[in-house]
Amino acid sequence: MIYTPHILEEMYLGLEDNGYQFRGITKRFPLATRHFKTKLKNRYYWLYGFIILVLGTGAATNSLHFDYQGGSAYVITTFSWAVGLIGSLAAIFAGYSLVTSDQASGRIRLILKLPYTRWRYAFEKFLGEAFAVIAFTSLATVTGFAVSTALYGLPPVLPAIGILVVQAGNLLVWLSLAMAVSMVVKTGRRAVAVLMVLFLSTWVWEGVANSILRGIGEQSVAVRLFAYRLEPYRAYSVTVNWMLGLPNSDLMAPLLMEHVDPNGSIIIGPGIVSELVGDIPWFLSEWVSALVLILWGTVPMLLAYRRFKTADIS
């Protein structure tokens, strides 16, 4: 049997020659659509969403300090914390095998026999996974907001929408990093090993940055704070605090909010930039951290694709 591009497309994408016509996005991105639909049936993705829901609502009802009652706004911060921690890990495990699994099984050679360029293949694989991860995360978050509404009242609408957007951005960053590694290494085991080292290194980055700055003789508090914010988790925390109207700080939003009264006055100032350096230099502005997050999500992916587009996948 001769495998024409049309037959290969039916085999891989599960299309049937029955006159059915794709409409809208499913017609333009069939590989992404198939990938997304597959994830909707995956019980582990539903389990992930349930974990986010439990962590977010649980932390909202049992704050870090049991005498603190954050109310309707506090639940927004607890979900941002849950997604920053668990969501980042979930994005890593969702993306580390996006390319390596297709290479190991030979599917990538089959797909590229279709009218697919390597760019379109990489884009649609990323798009399908991104939609799945963001959909489950957003569903869990919105459900948590609904639960908290029954307990505390409706959360502030604009900050809630802003957090949904920033959460999605954080997931895209880690998914992009995961796929970048998946395009470069040969096996899934190597990919997940590299990504876990990267993820865990964010927790020791402050010590590494201090060592580097001491080595070059840099003593500025402002420069030290900027160096800390170069890793994605702190950049995400700063951006979350910015969206919530909290003080400029890289602390987790739930902890920071517990030190700010409802009128915005700082009760205790742990790690708040204005208290540490006085006048805030431009490179410690919140928009800079948002830009750092964007760079983490784009630069490694572009560099990895540059290698992937010329790599031997035979």
- Give the pLDDT of residue 6: 42
Least confident of 101-110, 134-143, 185-194, 283-292: 101-110
Band (pLDDT 50/70/90 cuts) for residue 241 is very high
C-alpha angle with apex 311: 310 to 314, nearest 5 degrees? Answer: 120
Least confident of 110-114, 130-134, 145-149, 216-220: 110-114
Q: Within 13 A of 313's CA, how many CA atoms are on the CB side? A: 25
Residue 117 has pLDDT above 80, yes or no: yes
What is the value of pTM for the model shown?
0.86
Q: Whole-angstrom Cα distance, residue 164 to residue 253?
A: 14
The answer to whether the CB of 80 falls within 8 A of the CB of 289 is no
Band (pLDDT 50/70/90 cuts) for residue 69 is low
| pLDDT tens, position by position, 18-43 | 344 445 556 777 888 888 899 999 99
Band (pLDDT 50/70/90 cuts) for residue 70 is low
Contacts of 163 by beta carbon, 8 Å cutoff, 6+ apart: 76, 79, 80, 141, 240, 243, 244
- Give the pLDDT of residue 10: 46
Residue 8 has pLDDT above 50, yes or no: no
Neighbours of 36 (CB within 10 A): 20
C-alpha angle with apex 295: 108 to 213, nearest 5 degrees? Answer: 125
- Give the pLDDT of residue 26: 65
Q: Any long-range contacts for 182-185 (C-beta under 8 Å, 24+ apart)?
A: 182/95, 182/96, 182/97, 182/98, 182/99, 182/100, 183/99, 183/122, 183/304, 183/305, 183/307, 183/308, 183/311, 184/304, 184/307, 184/308, 185/100
- Give the pLDDT of residue 113: 75
Rounded mean pLDDT of 56-69? 67
Residue, of 158 and 267, whose pLDDT is higher = 158
Residue 132 has pLDDT above 80, yes or no: yes
Q: How many residues does the chain have?
A: 314
Residue 78 has pLDDT above 50, yes or no: yes
The answer to whether the CB of 122 falls within 8 A of the CB of 145 is no
- Give the pLDDT of residue 126: 94
Q: Whole-angstrom Cα distance, residue 172 to residue 53?
A: 19
